[in-house]
Amino acid sequence: MATNKNTEIRNDQSEIENFELLEKNLGFEVTPYEGRLSLAENKSFKKLELSPSQKIQVTGLLQQTPLAFTSGFTSSCYVVSFPEGLPHTLTKLKQGGYGSMIQGEHGGFVGSASFYKMTTQAAVLGAFTAMSAVTGQYFLAEINSELELVNKKLDDILEFLYGDKKAELMAEISFVKYAHNNYSTIMMFDEQRIATISSLQDAKKIAMKDIDFYLNDLYACVNEKTKDYKGLQETVKRAERAKQCAEISRQLYVVSGLLEIYFSQNYEQQYLDYVENDMIAYINKCSSSILSDYGKLQNKVAEYKKKLLDNVDNKDKIASKLEEAVTPYKNESDSSIRCALVDSIAALKKKSAYYIDVDGNVYVKNEE
């Protein structure tokens, strides 16, 4: 009996050392929360929506912690912290285990030995993959909440779309909304995830073509000569529709690009920097084009000379609407679309902590 007990103790110690080595090499930490904390009743915490299978994976993580082998230890919840962000840790984990070369008797290397057991690594990988999926959904929903593409119903968007690009653009918007809203579940199935990435890349290319189409239409509309005040009013309406379509196409470009990053889980710094800089440059280019064309339209309204039978009583009202429409493009660094882009990428790299209760539910602390 004593021998069996000693063997159990050695095995437990081995598991503890195994897990602690994973924590050190991958840059994460699992610690018990000191004191009692009712996460479900505390408004400072947001519960993330996990599927039953995802909850099982998270529970598996707790079963691998050193405290799981400590007799009699209980805690209301555990804190899993990632100093460099969960995606960074997950990327390192997916690249494989850390190992050392084994040198043979004649001096040559004959193989390699893992520093930690694959069962522990598999449990951690499964839990982190599940957590990454649901937190990715959470980040995307929080950051993109102000974007028209994400919030508006398809019927509302359909009302102002026009031209040959209408059906094409609606199809891509519908797909991107589907991918955005179902991110956490699609992420759990590799074949579906890969197919989604390909479709998102297509959506991004189509968005760029549609942006150019509607911006060209805006330019042509603004530069047309108007015979009378009624014609000028019609020009303003057409310009607004073209701008709206260009804007929704621009949002499709940004959201599809962001989703590609999140679905691919390519978090290499060089790649993230390139994508962010490239997309910001394109966003700024679109804003410059809209500002230029709306500037011409504002001048056209301001300089319009009243003709016989013209009713120009609402000229100031039109000028005010034009200024309101163009204001968001004047300071692009503060615009909702650029903030969504920058914040979405930054969220992947920032320090993060997750609170897990004994039932496998995951919570994040609401930012103040």
Q: pLDDT tens string for the chain (368 positions)?
A: 544 444 444 445 666 777 888 888 888 888 888 767 778 888 888 999 988 888 988 888 888 776 655 544 566 788 999 988 888 888 888 765 544 444 445 555 444 444 445 667 788 888 888 999 998 988 888 877 778 777 778 888 878 888 778 889 999 999 999 999 999 999 989 999 999 999 999 999 999 999 999 999 999 999 988 888 888 889 999 999 999 999 999 999 999 999 999 999 888 889 999 999 999 999 999 999 999 999 999 998 888 777 655 666 677 888 888 998 888 888 777 788 888 889 888 888 888 899 988 888 899 988 75
Which runs of E-coded beta strand occur in the chain?
Answer: 29-32, 45-47, 77-82, 99-103, 109-114, 352-357, 362-365
**Residue 118 shares a structural domain with residue 194:** no
List Cα–Cα distances, 314 to 85, 237, 299, in angstroms: 54, 14, 16
Residue 99 inside a domain? The answer is yes
**Residue 176 shares a structural domain with residue 264:** yes
**Residue 111 shares a structural domain with residue 195:** no
- Give the chain's domain count: 2
Strand partners of residue 81: 29, 353
Q: Which of 120, 137, 205 is nearest to 169 (CA)?
A: 205
**Residue 216 shares a structural domain with residue 120:** no
Instruction: Tell me the pTM.
Output: 0.81
Residue 143 inside a domain? The answer is no
**Residue 265 shares a structural domain with residue 325:** yes
How many Å is the Cα radius of gyration of the chain? 28
Q: Which domain holds residue 237?
A: 148-347
Residue 165 inside a domain? The answer is yes
Q: Which of 105, 134, 254, 129 is nearest to 190 (CA)?
A: 129
**Residue 361 shares a structural domain with residue 248:** no
**Residue 171 shares a structural domain with residue 279:** yes
